[in-house]
Structure 1
Amino acid sequence: MFNLFILMLERGGLIIILAYILMNIPYFKNLLGNRRKVSTMVQLIIVFGIFAIISNFTGIEIDGNQIMIDQPFTDLATHSSLANTRVLTIGVSGLIGGPIIGVSVGIISGAIRYLQGGMDAYIYVISSILVGLFSGLYGLKSIRENTYPKVGEGLVFGAAMEAVQMVCIILLSTNFQEAVNLVKFIGLPMILTNSIGTGIFLSIIDSTLRQEEQTRAVQTHDVFQLTNETMPYFRSGMNEESCTQAAKIIQKLIKVSAVSITNKDSILAHVGAASDHHFPSKKIVTNLSKEVLRTGEIKEAHSHGEIGCDHPGCPLEAAIVIPLKSKEKTIGTLKLYFTDASKLTFVERQLAEGLATIFSSQIELGEMELQSQLLQDAEIKSLQAQVNPHFFFNTINTISALIRVDSEKAREMLLQLSTFFRSNLQGARTNVIPLEKELLQVEAYMKLEQARFPDRYQVEMNIENGLKNILLPPFVIQILVENAFKHAFKNRKVDNIVQVTVNKMDQDILVSVQDNGYGIEEDRLGKLGKESVTSEKGTGSALENLNKRLISLFGDKAQLNFKSSEQGTVVFCKIPYQGMEG
């Protein structure tokens, strides 16, 4: 009996080795992930049917209590029986694939065993079908949950299925005593072998799937890291600088021989092997890339010839070329190259497909951000360009009147108007200017107003040292000063003081304009900067436009704030600190 157990373990080991090889074939692993599909069921029946045939042909002939032969064979003597691992393969097929697969494999195995002959061969057809049915019904639960039976379940169930066969031998045999003697001799070794084999088979499946999950977890982490690190470059647009940086990151994290990124016409970046002849600004040289650009589909090459590079001595032997798309149009390619063709596997293809989707989304988002930025920029410049025409008309009329009585002063006013107008044109073309230029704009405005209304306004400048080159939106101070001149003092002719303060607070610049006027009514104060507020001297749209520009450029933190009382009004805002280098 012990010798038989050792021989049975050898046969079971053969099936286990085949199972291990099978579980390391990606195609078979994919089959197991779609067990409910008809095509998958057919393929599993074929695979396990072959296993069952091998189990039959590697069995051990038993005559009485003697082991007759230890070699594969086809025909049994009339009074001989066969100890084999048939129940192991049938049981596993049912546990994994369900009753249809289990019964089908049972029929195949039982038919082969019947053709082999021996004592009461029909019994093994019946027992094989029963084993396939019972194991398939038990496996249904795990199939519905998309899992597999545990190893412990396999050990118990494997022993139980072999026990079913032993019961069939005793109950269905034409010679009861011979059947009992046979079961006594082969029963325990076959039950133990089937139990151990089923458990090991399921443990191989479990460990393979766990390993795959761990690999996916690592790949997912790498993909997240890759996405985060490449996002700024792909979203900044398809240019040589951004694509080169992205290609370096991709090569480092995916560990391929070379990475290349192209637009529809030329190479934007190539990092790694063959960079001596695949370099930026060069026209696309590989036929593979041209085909991907034409079809918009992922292509693979598994030889130097398939890549289609004509350069002598090119080390690239395999490649995956992925289309990069925006708005469903192919705008370029991402190419992963290998100097060893065997490194291009199913895993690399799946990873490449995922990266294509991610990178295409990043590019599309970048284009959307750019369009949004351009629209926002256009809106800001439109707001900046809205200059009060009445100011120009009044100033020109004043200059016209002065020409006859004080030509020198009229000339000075004309120069100041020219400075003011030039600053308006420059401000309409950019979002930020140096504080020094803004102060020149304010000075030009003040002199024009003082020429019209001599000695009516006094402006005090309190500018912190070292801030002349900081950047701020054009007209910020000028509009606030103009607003104070027009609305703070009503018809008061003297003692009208406006204080302009600019200083640094942590990482912000505080810009404040304060007057000693009559203050703002409570019902108007809450509306300023948020909507147009009509008054005797204007609509209040200048403050609204300025506030919109500040918020568009720097967020809500930079919006205008108003504090007012009968002693005067202060308007201030906080702008993020940035120097000329920003």
Structure 2
Amino acid sequence: MFILILTILTSLVNRVGTIIILAFIMSKINLFRKLVTKRNISLSDKFILSILFGIFGIIGTYSGIPVKGALANSRVIGVFVGGLLGGPFVGILSGIIAGFHRWVIDVGGFTAVACAISTIIEGIMAGMLSEKFYKTESKWLFSLVMGIIAETIQMIIILIVAKPFIEAVNLVEIIGIPMIIANSIGIAIFIAITESIFKDQERAAAYQAQIALKIANKTLKYFRKGFNAETARETAQIIYEMTDLKAVAFTDRKKILAHVGAGEDHHKAGDRIKTTITKEVIKSGKYIVANSKEKIDCDIHRCGLKSAIIVPLKENNKVIGTLKLYKTDENSITQVDMELALGLGLLFSTQIELSKIEYQSELLAKAELKALQAQINPHFLFNAINTIVSFIRTKPDKARELLLHLGSYFRKNLQQSGEEVELTKEIEHVKSYLEIEKARFGDKLNVKFDIPDKITCFLPPLILQPIVENSIKHGIMEKLEGGTIIIKAIDDEKETILIVKDDGVGMDEEYIKHIFSKREGNDSVGLINVNNRLKNKYGEEYGLKIESELGVGTTVIMRIPKNSKEDSLNDKVHNC
């Protein structure tokens, strides 16, 4: 008995080897690789897979070894692998094909019905395990264990269905162990071979991901300027040159913005959208894959575009256009192409949205600056003029000096429309303001500057003067004896720290808590504006920090980060 079992096992292993060789050859055929790696396969693809794996099952039957009126065979390998790779539909249909064939060639045979039933059940089992199979890390080991269980179930079915029972027992004793061992190992090897296809795909996907990042890096400077015909053309050209795609196109909701590659002689920028599927993507907001010329539905007969994936480009979840990747062979859009298209679509949508946010941010910053410039306190102007008038007779030279400071103050106040200014210019502006205030208040106002000579800092304009004004108005001048303001700059490794400190009346904690709120009666408009501008430009963590104590004074701290930036005029690289 042992020698017979060993002989059957050896013969089965040889026959399984033939199937494995066929599997290896199939794994190198593009059609098979496409069918195996397509997770969302169509119904026609499932039919092809079912017939293919059903034929593998039939080959396993014909290569079987006759044993006591039955066949020790490897039929289950094709059916079980088909179910694992293709899901329930493929498992059931390939099981029916191979099982029905087994019954037809041996109608009335001892195990014909049992083998047909077990083949279909094993196909169903594999199909039900398909989802778990794809989530498993070690797919070959999973397949080996499940193959052992499946073949064990086949032996049980033979014992239940085949009659007479004693002959079924004798048969299972002989073929059970050889079929369980040989077929489970065959299933595991078949899966290991197909797993190499997935690894190839993963390597290709990793390469495509790298390409996508390079594309995104190269196209960022274009989409930062907005989504239009010019930026779309530049981006399409980059994608076309960096991939093996035959054509790349962008559209907005109504017209073609750019088309590079095959078909650009009739898919021209500015033309209205021609293809139905593009309109469907714009309407539904979901990507579509077209695997035939008919589905692309170009109205130009000579058009060579035969496969495409079209993904929506969105802004605030609203479709604003599409990205279209084309090939000139039918059914040539792979899973890797889909991942590339979806990844680029998401990246471009993000870039487009960020460009709008950046543009709005620039508008907001300019609007805030204009608002600050418009908030020149008329009382300051009138008080300055009255002060100068009072000096004209008694101190004409001082009056002349103050007029120059007043002119300088207003000139700088109205001219500061740039994005950033040097700290030295901002200090000059503050000094012009302080000279006028010191003339008004005399010895009651003292100002000290602690600004290192070698410090280099670029900051938003009109950012210091409102803080200094607030210190004078609400700190120093509230004291009968007046006080001192210290304006200091500290050059830190990553940022410049600017401090305005006074020894005025100070503020309590409750007032500080609400100082930036726009509630009625809050007269800290200048501080609110400066705080908002800093946050808008550098981020929430860069708002003003205020420390104060009643009867002691107030300290206002701002931080200007030393972040590199592009300067289109002179390539200036640092904020500070």
Q: Shorter-chain TM-score: what band? A: 0.5 to 0.7
SS in 2 for 1:502: strand
Cα distance change on mapping 1:189 and 1:180 into 2, 3 Å: closer
* Alpha-carbon shift at residue 108 of structure 1 (Å): 1.5
Aligned residue number for residue 509 of structure 1: 496
Deviation at 1:320, TM superposition (A): 6.2
Distance across 2 between alignment mates of 1:140 and 1:317: 33
Name the SS of the counterpart of 1:104 in structure 2: helix
The counterpart of 1:530, out of the listed 516, 527, 541, is: 516
1:154 partnered with 2:147: yes
2:568 maps to 1:575: no
Q: What runs of 5+ residues in structure 2 fail to find an aligned partner?
A: none
Amino acid at match of 1:482: E
Partner of 1:196: 182
Letter in 2 for 1:386: Q
Is 1:486 the equivalent of 2:473? yes
Alignment deviations for residues 369-388 of structure 1 (CA, whole Å, 9 cap, x no partner)? 32552464256323454232
Q: What is the number of equivalent residue pairs in this alignment?
A: 534
Q: Which has the larger radius of gyration?
A: 1
Residues 358-413 of structure 1, C-alpha deviation per residue, up to 9 Å, x if partnerless? 22432344145325524642563234542323212333455567778888766655
- CA distance in structure 2 between the partners assigned to 1:334 and 1:456 by the alignment: 68
Q: Secondary structure at the match of 2:461?
A: coil
Q: 1:473 aligns with which of 460, 471, 475?
A: 460
Match in the other structure for 2:411: 422
Q: Does 1:520 align with 2:520?
A: no
Residue 554 (structure 2) pairs with residue 561 (structure 1):
no
Change (3 A) 1:163 1:32: farther
* In structure 2, C-alpha distance between the alignment counterparts of 1:287 and 1:521, rounded to whole Å: 65
Q: Distance in 1 between matches of 2:483 and 2:7?
A: 116
Q: Which residue of 1 aligns with 2:351?
A: 363
1:18-29 alignment runs, 5 A limit: 18-20=22-24, 25-26=32-33, 28-29=35-36
Answering whether residue 194 of structure 2 is matched by residue 208 of structure 1, we say: yes
Q: Which residue of 2 aligns with 1:219?
A: 205
For the residue of structure 2 that corresponds to 1:192, the secondary structure is: helix
For 1:334-349, what aligned pairs fall within 5 Å after superposition? 334=323, 344-349=332-337
> Between the two proteins, what is the percent identity of the paired residues?
22
How much does 1:465 deviate? 0.8
Quote the residue 1:70 is aligned against.
Answer: none
Q: Secondary structure at the match of 1:526?
A: helix
Are residues 27 and 512 of structure 1, via their aligned partners in 2, closer, same or farther at CA, if it must alter by over 3 Å? closer
**Out of 502, 525, 550, which is 1:541 matched to?**
525
- Separation of aligned partners in 2, 1:91 and 1:337: 36
2:114 equivalent to 1:127: yes
Structure 2 equivalent of residue 109 of structure 1: 101
SS state of the match for residue 110, structure 2?
A: helix
Task: Report the 3-state secondary structure (helix = DSSP H, G, I; strand = E; otherwise coil) of the residue aligned with 1:479.
Answer: helix
CA separation of 1:319 and 1:504: change in aligned 2, threshold 3 A: same
Using the TM superposition, give the Cα deviation of residue 479 of structure 1 relative to its aligned residue in structure 2, in angstroms.
Answer: 2.4
Q: Is the alpha carbon distance of 1:559 and 1:489 closer, same or farther for their aligned partners in structure 2, counting shifts above 3 Å?
A: closer
Query: 2:436 matched to 1:448?
Result: yes
- Cα offset, 1:509, TM superposition: 2.1
Q: Separation in 2 of the partners of 1:285 and 1:157?
A: 61
Contact between 1:235 and 1:362, CA under 8 Å: does it hold in 2?
Answer: no
Greater CA deviation, 214-223 or 286-295? Answer: 286-295
The 2-side partners of 1:32 and 1:361 are apart by 26
Match of 1:69 in 2: none
Which runs of 5 or more structure 1 residues have no equivalent in the other structure? 66-80, 116-120
- Verify the 8 A CA contact 1:458 1:496 in the aligned structure 2: yes
User: For 1:180 and 1:11, how far apart are their aligned partners in 2?
Assistant: 24
Alignment counterpart, residue 389 of structure 1, candidates 378, 386, 390: 378
How many Å separate the matches in 2 of 1:408 and 1:542?
Answer: 32
Distance 2:496 2:200 in 1: 51
**Counterpart for residue 73 of structure 1:** none
TM-score, scaled to structure 2: 0.67
User: RMSD across aligned C-alpha pairs, in angstroms?
Assistant: 5.8
